[in-house]
Amino acid sequence: MKALLAVSKGVDTLNEWIGLFAVWLMPVMVLVGVWNVFGRFFGQAIGQNLTSNLFIEMQWYLFSLTYLLGAAYVLRHNGHVRVDVLYDRWSAKTKAMINMLGSALILLPFAGFVIYFSWNWLAASWVILEQSPDPSGLPRYPIKTVLVFGFGLLIIQGISEFIKNLAIYTGAVDPEAEPHKTLATADGHNAIAHVGDANLLADEVEHKAHPVHTPHAAETQSEEIKQ
């Protein structure tokens, strides 16, 4: 389990950085959108063309990048919409089971379905280096590549979430671990625990496998034996 959690940690780190990159695309998208609106109306007022298809397509390209690159990041932070009427009432192990079923039966098949049926479409776009049909528009094949790449990130993050929930369900980590609540770590201090944090789960597994014996604990154990 520790090896699987190490893989999960690597996936989490990758999607964390890609997600943070996607976040910074949003203000750029807003600025481009503001320019498109301003340029269209102000250009009409002065009789000049201040916008072009390049900026219009850039706006929706940036939106697509934010969505496709950020989906796995949001999954890692448990930010996707969920019906919580019953879910919040269940135990941590039941939640872990539901999460695993959702990943295995819905998330992973759907993402794989999208990649499978997009592959030939993407390959054809690369063969001809597909361009926008509009004058001064942007190439189409890069954004189509990001579609497949983004769902690939979603698949590996779904696997990462499955691993972490499996660790909770099997008892490899504290079954009562909840997002944003504290767990006692090996040194006795409290740390913020998140089901989406493979780092903490790996530490929890290591602690269970190799408990830390402090001098105080050894002294207490010795006194109990004497009694």
pLDDT at 213: 52
Structure token digits, residue 140? 């189409």
Q: For residue range 86-113, what is the model confidence (pLDDT) as tens digits?
A: 888 888 888 889 999 999 999 999 999 9
What burial letters (b/e) apply to 181-205, b meaning 16+ CB within 10 Å?
eebeeeeeeebebbbbbbebbbbbb
What is the rounded average pLDDT of the residues 159-188? Answer: 66
Residue whose structure tokens are 């872990």: 96
Q: Mutual orientation of helices 141-169 and 198-209 as an angle, nearest 10°?
A: 30
> Across the chain, where does the E strand assignment appear?
181-184, 190-193
175 close to 168: Cβ distance less than 8 angstroms: yes
What is the rounded average pLDDT of the residues 155-161? Answer: 95
Domain segments of the chain as ranges: 2-226
| Model pTM above 0.85 | no
Q: For residue range 43-63, what is the model confidence (pLDDT) as tens digits?
A: 777 877 777 889 999 999 999
